[in-house]
Homo-oligomer: A and B are copies of this chain.
Amino acid sequence: MDDTEPRDLRSRNRQAVREAISAAALRLALQHGPGGLRLVRVTDIAEAAGVAPRTYNNYFSSREEAICAFQADQARRLGRALRSRPADEPLAEAITAAVIEVFATPEPDRAGLAMILSTPELQGEALKAFTMAEEPLATAIAERTGTGARGNLSCQVLAAAVAGAVRVAGRHWLDTTNPPPFATVLRDALGHVLPPTGEGGAST
């Protein structure tokens, strides 16, 4: 969906700068390796992105946040992706399709993922990013299942389970030599937490 493209030309430029900084940060991080994250100065990132150090700070408050901005954006799209699925599609299939659309299209960058998963600091940030997806996802699930209660436990638990499955799938996919398409791993992982077709998981 192209709804991620902002209308305002100003916002457009802003997003471009954001991605530029993020890309520069990830690239520098990859150069220094998992252990040398500390050696990546904020000044270097800003310079590589073509902005002032102060400006970098207007976008991100930490290196980790900048590096994981892509994951954060992905997570932000998940709820919307689920809503855009046809309403008559079974819940499990809709979630699976939405997840694959967001996280496996295109195939993730293996090096970047490895960098993040092998660096504790970045793990935490990526974790935050994935968790951000849970609340909108839970809301979307609640809408789809018709469960009115927004505070419904089962929807939130399911959303958390889905997010966790995606995260675990990513790690598993990365640890696999000669890996299958990420979408395959995602389907497999989601199969363990998704209710069988026809059951929305709302029992309370």
Contact = CB atoms under 8 A, between A and B. Distances in A.
Interface of A: 123-125, 127-128, 131, 134, 151, 153-154, 156-158, 160-161, 163-165, 167-169, 171-172, 175, 185, 188-189, 191-193, 201, 203-204
A145 to B, nearest CB: 13
A157 B168 contact: yes
A127 B134 CA distance: 13
A28 to B, nearest CB: 22
Nearest to A164: B160
Given A161-B160, A168-B160, A154 B124 contact: no
Copies of the protein in its oligomer: 2
Given A127-B128, A131-B127, A204-B188, A168 B193 contact: no
A130 to B, nearest CB: 9
Nearest to A195: B192
Contact of A123 (B128, B161, B191): B128
A161 B153 contact: no
Contacts of A127: 124, 127-128, 131
Given A154-B192, A157-B161, 16 more contacts: A123-B128, A124-B124, A134-B168, A153-B168, A153-B169, A153-B189, A156-B168, A156-B172, A160-B164, A160-B165, A161-B165, A161-B193, A163-B164, A191-B203, A192-B203, A193-B193
A21 to B, nearest CB: 20
A158 B127 CA distance: 17
26 contacts: A123-B131, A124-B127, A127-B127, A127-B131, A134-B164, A153-B168, A153-B169, A153-B185, A153-B188, A154-B192, A156-B168, A156-B171, A156-B172, A157-B165, A157-B189, A157-B193, A158-B192, A160-B161, A160-B167, A161-B161, A161-B165, A161-B193, A188-B204, A191-B203, A192-B203, A193-B193
